[in-house]
Amino acid sequence: MAKFKDNIVIKVRAGKGGAGAVSFRREKYIPRGGPDGGDGGKGGDVIIQATQGYYNLGHLFKDRIYKAQNGGFGMGQNRHGRDGQDLIINVPAGTQVLDAESGELLADLVHEGDTVCVARGGMGGKGNAFFKTATHQTPRFAQPGMPGEERSILLNLKLIADVGLVGLPNVGKSTLLKAITNAQPKIADYPFTTLIPNLGVIERGETVIKIADIPGIIEGAHKGLGLGLSFLQHIERVRIILFCIEAIDADPLYTLSLLKAELSTYNKDL
């Protein structure tokens, strides 16, 4: 299973356009035919797409440079070079796509099927047939292909779920998630068993409910204590926050207020 990653920088490079061809017709009885060099093909684009079946960015961790296919060279007989194939990078729904250098948000891929083109392929060069004029019947040159765009992209995942489970460490959130969904989180009798968010799904006919289990929060988490608040970005988009408090908690109202205070410190709108 891929290591859980919710934040990663990748480099993308669109395909280079193919060079135009320098070619002349070679026909019987026509020893010096006119130019017939075709244009080069366009380079492939790099596209990021929110795709079903992906739950984090761990699958992108190994290969950090993603290249689309170059366009093909133009050919004689006015044949156009093939266009380079687009490269599609699959990510989970909820992935924000940013320019890594400027921090500009390029797209927020909230729904499965959402796409954004992050690097456009270069245009193919013109073949020598394009340059034929009344005064220049036999051009012996063609254009090279244009380079594709290249940039660094920051991907930041904010899980899309209907319900987010929030509580102190070791209160049974993962046990609850396992009991009501298909998830298989790690469960043990010590604090901070859950080190990464877990996502479970309840399916009842056509109804699908996604539940996110967030690592436990302790008092002072906003100061970096425990596991801190870095994983709270994964409940920013949930419809319902479910606070999990032990039945044997000596002061459940205090625990609830503590959890709410830590959330509001992270994001006042939570």
Tokens of 263: 């959330």
- On whether both 193 and 230 belong to a single domain, the answer is yes
- On whether both 149 and 188 belong to a single domain, the answer is no
- On whether both 21 and 150 belong to a single domain, the answer is yes
Last residue of a domain, one of 129, 157, 185: 157
- The confidence score (pLDDT) of residue 160 equals 83
Total length of the chain: 270
Q: What is the DSSP letter of 160?
A: -
pTM of the predicted protein model = 0.82
Last residue of a domain, one of 100, 135, 157: 157
Output the domain CATH number for residue 186.
3.40.50.300
- The confidence score (pLDDT) of residue 188 equals 43
Q: Using CA atoms, how far apart are residues 187 and 175, in angstroms rounded to an integer?
A: 7
- On whether both 77 and 167 belong to a single domain, the answer is no
Quote the Cα angle for 235-241-245, to 5°: 115
- The confidence score (pLDDT) of residue 31 equals 62
Report whether 115 contacts 99 (CB < 8 A). no
The pLDDT tens digits of the residues spanning 254-269 come to 999 999 988 888 877 7
3 state SS of 59: helix
Domain encompassing residue 59:
1-157
C-alpha to C-alpha distances, 39 to 44, 78, 131, 134, nearest whole angstrom:
16, 7, 11, 20
Output the domain CATH number for residue 47.
2.70.210.12
- On whether both 7 and 129 belong to a single domain, the answer is yes
The pLDDT tens digits of the residues spanning 3-44 come to 678 899 999 999 999 999 999 988 777 666 789 999 999 999
- The confidence score (pLDDT) of residue 218 equals 77
